[in-house]
Chain A
Amino acid sequence: MITNDLEVSVAARRATARPEAAEGPPAVSVRGLRKSYDGVTQALDGVDLDVRRGEVLAILGPNGAGKTTLVEILEGHRTADAGDVSVLGHDPAKRERAFRARIGIVLQEEGIDQTLSVREVVELYSAAYPHPRPAMEVLDLVGLGDRPGVRVSALSGGQRRRLDLALGIAGDPELVFLDEPTTGFDPSARRQSWELISALRDLGKTILLTTHYMDEAQHLADRVVVIARGKVIAEGAPDTLGAGVAEATLVGFRVPYGVDGDHLPLPGGTEVERRDRLVSFRTRTPTRDLAPLLAWAADAGIELEALTVTRPSLEDVYLQLTEEPA
């Protein structure tokens, strides 16, 4: 697990949730949403979803789970077969201009006019919004403030994504959609993007992001919704997600040579897994179960090598949740 200033600051912000986050009608409200393609593929199979104002919600799911379909319906790019959808009080399927003026969409690898400069593009695409942010302010925010005159065609991949982000927020929208904002990024570009998205949430925006990176959801989101096979299969804060699914803490250690590994004071009633000298077990009460083991080892003067006590990561939870039913 990576720990740095960013993570700490995100955690701190999470702890002091902004007051507006819990108040008022939700920014997005979805009930019983269904969508199939060609009448065969059931992309969405009865999805319920709420996004509160000021919240950062991550939609997590494997490829083909229905994430993009869901988001595109919320954006107004697609129409649902059935269900109620309300985004900022609008029905996105009507594609009203006033609705589109209040949302910002950060697309994944979509076209931009190659021959225009960075600044020209931002000014051009924000001109249709009632209250656009000044172009230079937006460019500063995404870290392109030092290259307003560069042509889009001359940007590197990472700079292009920054420009995508700039275009998504240039109209000063209330709700920002981020579709897999860091897919294909190298680690440092990802981290920079995370900082940008954190800056966005500081502006008080409601953010709905899709991702298939667990750590991304963990870093950025107030709440995570896991989608698989067109259904919401779990939701909650990243830390509490999957309580009851993979709740057991994993304890593991290696039995030193010359020690009889068959008569360890291990907890009864749990399944202990042994692989050569490696011993591991899952427990909901790690403190209680470890105490006899540690006392025994200390008394015998034995060092338990590679002793680890691991809480299930979001990734473990996710993998368990999204596992195809046998």
Chain B
Amino acid sequence: MTLPARSDLALLGRWLRARVRIQLRTGRAVVFTFAFPLVLLVLFNGLNGNATVDAVGAAGQVKFAQFYTPSIGIFSLTTACYTSVILGIATARDSGLLKRVRGTPLPMSIYLGAWLTGAALTGILAVFLLFAVAIPAFGVKIYLDTLPAALVTLVLGAACLSSVGLAVATLAKSADQAMPIAQLTFLPISFISGIWFPLSNAPDWLMKIANFFPLAHIVHAFDKCFSPGVTGGAWSANDLWNVAIWTAAGLFVATRRFRAEPAQQDAGPRRRVLRRAAA
């Protein structure tokens, strides 16, 4: 017996709303996804406000904020989609939340799908918030003809980061491992991917490593949309292809790992620590 697809969509919608609500009510997530990037933006502009840097994907120079706002936007996106998915899923598994879901008729695909979509929406919301501050405060300009490319990059980037995050989450054996895994994969790659400073003078071999991973491509494709004078609507097919392939790979690995999981961990009931109820 399968339930009609329409009710599954309703179920997905319901869980999606709940996931966004959970994200917004979780202090740590709000601080790291929304507040921390804003602090970075204000701080770096205070330090470097009058500097100019090479425009990404176009000739000439742009004001520091014009480069930095989209870059920090991708930092926000990564925090919301990648870091918090790894941490959240690992914690959910440790605390028995995934086991609870497995015992209900809710398909794991809907549960995790809502989780990833919720993370993506939260990340995109954080980017919008960043621009809502940066446009009036630091004179950051957005361009109508590159806006479609910017939005597509944002959505595809969010999908990529969260599905890769889910795949990485299955590698963490416990919630304690999740934080170091998330930070040790994200931070080094973020430095070589052009989030913190432009990479125009970086050595070739380093760029090759950076370009293997999706983050550099997301940053490049997104930053390019905010360079004045860029042509062709700022679409960068090469970047988007890389991001799409990583998205598919992440989903493939995550699906396989989640299917295999119960058998894999079948080492007997875990010993519970009995907590005295405070009733």
Question: Are the C-beta atoms of A109 and B275 separated by less than 8 Å?
Answer: yes
Contact with B along A218-255 (1 / 0, CB 8 A): 00000000000000000000000000000000000000
Binds B, one of A45-53, A110-118, A290-298: A110-118
State how many angstroms separate the Cβ of B276 from the closest Cβ of chain A: 5
List residues of B (259-279) whose CB comes within 8 Å of A's CBs: 262-263, 266-269, 272, 274-279
Contacts of B110 in A (CB 8 A): 128
Question: Are the C-beta atoms of A109 and B96 separated by less than 8 Å?
Answer: yes
Contacts of A31 in B (CB 8 A): none
Known: A111-B92, A127-B14, A128-B105. A158 touches B100 (CB 8 A): no
Contacts of B275 in A (CB 8 A): 109, 157, 184
Contacts of B274 in A (CB 8 A): 183-184
Residue of B nearest to A130 (CB): B3
Contact with B along A127-152 (1 / 0, CB 8 A): 11110000000000000000000000
B222 at the A/B interface (Cβ < 8 Å)?
A: no
A68 at the A/B interface (Cβ < 8 Å)?
A: yes
Residue in B96, B106, B267, B278 whose beta carbon sits within 8 Å of that of A110 in the complex: B96
Residue of B nearest to A153 (CB): B25
How many residues of chain A get a CB closer than 8 Å to chain B's CBs?
51
Question: Are the C-beta atoms of B22 and A75 separated by less than 8 Å?
Answer: no
Question: Are the C-beta atoms of B272 and A69 separated by less than 8 Å?
Answer: no
B231 at the A/B interface (Cβ < 8 Å)?
A: no
A5 at the A/B interface (Cβ < 8 Å)?
A: no
A209 at the A/B interface (Cβ < 8 Å)?
A: no
A3 at the A/B interface (Cβ < 8 Å)?
A: no
Contacts of B11 in A (CB 8 A): 127-128
A188 at the A/B interface (Cβ < 8 Å)?
A: yes
A105 at the A/B interface (Cβ < 8 Å)?
A: yes
Question: Are the C-beta atoms of A125 and B104 separated by less than 8 Å?
Answer: yes
Residue of A nearest to B15 (CB): A124
Question: Are the C-beta atoms of B279 and A120 separated by less than 8 Å?
Answer: no
Question: Are the C-beta atoms of B3 and A113 separated by less than 8 Å?
Answer: no
A310 at the A/B interface (Cβ < 8 Å)?
A: no
Whole-angstrom distance between the alpha carbons of A76 and B101 in the complex?
Answer: 12
Contacts of B25 in A (CB 8 A): 115-116
Contacts of B97 in A (CB 8 A): 110-113
A326 at the A/B interface (Cβ < 8 Å)?
A: no
Question: Are the C-beta atoms of A186 and B104 separated by less than 8 Å?
Answer: no
Residue in B2, B21, B277 whose beta carbon sits within 8 Å of that of A116 in the complex: B21
Residue of B nearest to A78 (CB): B266
Question: Are the C-beta atoms of A189 and B279 separated by less than 8 Å?
Answer: yes
Whole-angstrom distance between the alpha carbons of A77 and B261 in the complex?
Answer: 11
Whole-angstrom distance between the alpha carbons of A184 and B277 in the complex?
Answer: 6
State how many angstroms separate the Cβ of B11 from the closest Cβ of chain A: 6
Contacts of A160 in B (CB 8 A): 277
Contacts of A100 in B (CB 8 A): 103-105
B180 at the A/B interface (Cβ < 8 Å)?
A: no
List residues of B (233-279) whose CB comes within 8 Å of A's CBs: 262-263, 266-269, 272, 274-279
State how many angstroms separate the Cβ of B53 from the closest Cβ of chain A: 40
B183 at the A/B interface (Cβ < 8 Å)?
A: no
Question: Are the C-beta atoms of B268 and A124 separated by less than 8 Å?
Answer: no
Question: Are the C-beta atoms of A156 and B279 separated by less than 8 Å?
Answer: yes
Whole-angstrom distance between the alpha carbons of A113 and B106 in the complex?
Answer: 16
Question: Are the C-beta atoms of B92 and A157 separated by less than 8 Å?
Answer: no
B18 at the A/B interface (Cβ < 8 Å)?
A: yes
Whole-angstrom distance between the alpha carbons of A111 and B99 in the complex?
Answer: 8
Question: Are the C-beta atoms of B268 and A69 separated by less than 8 Å?
Answer: yes
Binds B, one of A17-25, A35-43, A259-267, A312-320: A35-43
Residue in B18, B100, B267 whose beta carbon sits within 8 Å of that of A120 in the complex: B18
A97 at the A/B interface (Cβ < 8 Å)?
A: yes
Residue of B nearest to A120 (CB): B18
A98 at the A/B interface (Cβ < 8 Å)?
A: yes
Residue of B nearest to A185 (CB): B277
Question: Are the C-beta atoms of A37 and B105 separated by less than 8 Å?
Answer: no
State how many angstroms separate the Cβ of B82 from the closest Cβ of chain A: 21
Known: A128-B106, A156-B277, A167-B100. A78 touches B3 (CB 8 A): no
Question: Are the C-beta atoms of A157 and B269 separated by less than 8 Å?
Answer: no
State how many angstroms separate the Cβ of B269 from the closest Cβ of chain A: 4
Output the residue of A101, A113, A158, A189 with the most chain B CB within 10 A: A113
B48 at the A/B interface (Cβ < 8 Å)?
A: no
Question: Are the C-beta atoms of B96 and A111 separated by less than 8 Å?
Answer: yes
Contacts of A111 in B (CB 8 A): 92, 94-97, 99-100
Could you jot down 25 A-B contacts, CB within 8 Å? A37-B268, A43-B268, A69-B268, A97-B2, A98-B1, A100-B103, A103-B103, A107-B96, A109-B96, A111-B94, A111-B96, A111-B99, A125-B106, A127-B11, A128-B104, A128-B106, A128-B110, A156-B277, A156-B278, A156-B279, A158-B279, A171-B104, A184-B276, A184-B277, A186-B276
Q: Sort A-B residue pairs by CB-CB distance and give the 6 closest, nearest first.
A: A158-B279, A110-B96, A111-B95, A157-B277, A111-B97, A128-B106
Q: 13 other contacts beyond A41-B268, A79-B262, with CB at 8 A cut-off?
A: A97-B3, A109-B272, A110-B99, A115-B22, A116-B22, A120-B18, A128-B105, A128-B110, A130-B3, A157-B276, A171-B104, A185-B279, A186-B277
